[in-house]
Amino acid sequence: MTSPGSRSPKSDLEKQYTSSTSSSKVDRKAKKEIAIPQPSSSVLLISPQNQILLLHRIRTSSSFPSAHVFPGGNLDLYHESPIPPPSSPSRHVDSEVYRLGAIRECFEESGILLALPSPQDPSQKSTKEAHLHIDHKEISRARKEIHSRNIKFSTWLAQQGGIPDIESLHPFTRWITPSNLPKRFTTQMYIYFLPLSSSSSSSSSPSTSTEGVNQSVTTNQGVEPETEKETHTTPAHDGGIEHTAAEFAHCSTWLEKARKGEIILFPPQFYLMELLSKFLPPAGAESNSSFSTEELSLQRTQVLQFLQGDGGDASGIFWGDKVMSPLSLGIKKRNGDGKVILGLDGQGPELEGRGRKGDAKRVVLVRFGKEGPREVEVRERREVLEEERGVGEGGAKL
C-alpha cells in the first residue's frame, strides 16, 4: 500500500505526458523523433434534448481503450482528399476536409447522418430545416460498406439525394497530442446541434432564436417533425468494431460518472464537457429536468455566444481557433494530492512560433493510472498557482 504523502509509480501514460515538450522537433529527453500527428476530426453531437453523445471504446482499441469518447476518427484518403501534408500549415486548421471527415466518422460510429436534402435532387425537399430521411436498413448497410471502403461516403450520400451539413459544424478547439506519446493526432473538434424535436416542449413555438449571435455561427436548430426524430437522433453502436455502446446524456451526468470512477474520460473530453456543462443544461438546473423548446434554444444560443469569446484568458483567440497540446507543468504537491497538472496554453511543436495558443486561464489536474486517466479536474490556473505557492522545490512550474 502506498504510504500517505507518497505517490504510486508512474504509469506509462504519465511518463509520456510528463516527458513531452512543445519547443522542438526532436524530443531530446526521449532522444527520439516526435511522431507526426495524424489529422482527425471529432464531433460533440448535441441531441434535441441538449444531451451529448459518447461512445464506449472497446478494451483493445488502439486509441482511448475502454474510454468514453466523442464520435470521430482519422481522416481517410479514400473518403476525404486532399489531406494537407505534414509540412503544410493548413494541416492544423479547420477546413472542408476535416468537416467531411467528422460527418463520415459520426455516421460510421453512431448511425446518425448529419446531412441535408440536396437542392439539386428533385426527389428531395430543398428546405434546410429538415435533415435527410433515409431508411434504417439502408443506414445499417451503408455504415458497413463505407467503413469497409466498398463505397465512398460522398458517392453514397449523393445517391441518397443528400449533401453533408458542413455549415452547421461549429469549430470548438483543436487538440494536438503531446509530443512523447507514440500515437499522435491533430484533431479538430466541432459542435453540432441536432434539430430540436417537437416532443422537446409543450410550447407551440416552431423555431429558435439566434438574436444577438453573429450569423457566421448560427445553427440549424429548427424543430423537426416527431415522425423523423428516430431516424436522425437515435444512436446505435457499430457492432463492437470500435465501440460497444452509444448513448446520449447530459454533460453533467457524464462528468459525475467520471468523478465516481464509473467511466474513463481523457482530459480533452472531460475539459470540453466541463465547459459546456455551464450551458447544457445551465449551472443549477437539474440534469433530468424537462426543458421547453424556448429553454433548449436559449441554452444553444448561450453556447454560440460563448464560442465567440476567448474564454477569459485575454488572448483574443476565439474557441474555434484555440489549439491545445497538454503539457505537464509539474506534480501537485499541496495536500499530498500528487496529480499531474496539465497546462493547456501550449500549441505543440508543430505550431511553435505561429501565434496559435490554447487556454491560458485553465489547467487540467489528472491522476494517470494503468487503466487510464482518473480523478480529472478542470481548475483555474491562478487558483492552482496560489495553492502551490511555497510548497518547495519540485512544485508546479506555473
Q: List pLDDT tens digits, range 134-159.
A: 999 999 999 999 999 999 999 999 99
DSSP per-residue letters across 344-381: E----GGGTTTT---EEEEEEEEEEETTEEEEEEEEEH
Question: Which pLDDT value is given to residue 295?
Answer: 95
**pLDDT at position 211 over 60:** no
Percent pLDDT > 70 in the chain is 76
**pLDDT at position 62 over 90:** no
**pLDDT at position 334 over 70:** yes
Point out the least confidently predicted range of 27-31, 33-37, 174-178, 337-341: 27-31
Percent pLDDT > 90 in the chain is 59
| pLDDT-derived band at 214, boundaries 50, 70, 90 | very low
* CB-CB contact of 75 with 97 (8 Å): yes
Question: Which pLDDT value is given to residue 17?
Answer: 77
Pairwise pLDDT comparison (303 vs 369), residue with the higher score: 303
What pTM did the predictor assign? 0.85
Point out the least confidently predicted range of 57-71, 225-239, 333-347, 374-388: 225-239
Mean confidence (pLDDT) of the chain: 83
Nearest to 341 by CA among 350, 353, 333, 332: 332
Point out the least confidently predicted range of 127-136, 162-171, 252-261: 127-136
Name residue 365's beta-bridge partners: 341, 377
**pLDDT at position 323 over 60:** yes
CATH number, span 36-308: 3.90.79.10
**pLDDT at position 1 over 70:** no
For the stretch 76-105, pLDDT in tens is 999 999 999 999 989 999 999 999 999 999
Phi and psi at 375, nearest 5°, equal: 55, 45
Nearest to 149 by CA among 74, 50, 222: 74
Angle at the Cα of 128 from the Cα atoms of 123 and 133, rounded to 5 degrees? 50
**pLDDT at position 197 over 90:** no
| pLDDT-derived band at 217, boundaries 50, 70, 90 | very low
Name the segment(s) of the chain with CATH classification 3.90.79.10.
Answer: 36-308
| Mean pLDDT of the 192-221 span | 50
| Mean pLDDT of the 52-56 span | 96
